[in-house]
């Protein structure tokens, strides 16, 4: 977590010019760790400029992250055996054969 130990809320002053994303980062939370922002219960983008007196909630990134098109599958060429092994170790469905099956087999 990025909040000080035992704190669930922080108070920050909005200057009316800085975006909500900049304000969140200035409090020590990298935007890559922000899953969503809401202002008074309404979702807002990081480009939103708060006026002050608003309650903002910062949600964490959902873990594990959803990947569009999942489950991912890869068909690797003959010379990529090491990559195939590493992808399998990461849990990615990877088709690999040491022999070249030929273009006709790949087309099916």
List the CATH number of the domain containing 56: 3.10.20
Looking at the structure, tell me whether residues 2 and 48 fall in a common domain. Answer: yes
pLDDT, tens digit only, all 108 positions of the chain? 677 777 788 888 899 999 999 999 998 899 999 999 999 999 999 999 998 889 999 998 888 777 777 776 767 677 788 888 888 888 888 777 777 767 777 666
Number of domains in the chain: 2
Answering whether pTM is above 0.75, one says no
**54/85 same-domain check:** no
49 and 4 in a single domain? The answer is yes
Q: Are residues 83 and 33 in the same domain?
A: no
Does residue 44 share a domain with residue 3?
Answer: yes
Of 19, 94, 2, residue with least CA distance to 56: 19
State whether 58 and 80 are in the same domain. Answer: no
Expressed as residue numbers, the domain containing 102 is 73-106
Q: Are residues 48 and 11 in the same domain?
A: yes
């Amino acid at each position: 977590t990025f909040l000080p130990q035992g704190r669930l809320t922080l108070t920050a002053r909005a200057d009316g010019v800085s975006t909500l994303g900049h304000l969140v980062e200035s409090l020590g939370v990298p935007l890559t760790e922000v899953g969503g922002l809401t202002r008074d219960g309404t979702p807002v983008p990081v480009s939103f400029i708060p006026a002050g007196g608003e309650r903002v909630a910062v949600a964490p990134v959902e873990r594990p992250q959803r990947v569009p098109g999942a489950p991912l599958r890869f068909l690797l060429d003959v010379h990529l055996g090491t990559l195939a092994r590493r992808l399998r170790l990461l849990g990615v469905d990877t088709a690999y054969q040491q022999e070249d099956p030929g273009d006709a087999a790949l087309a099916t």
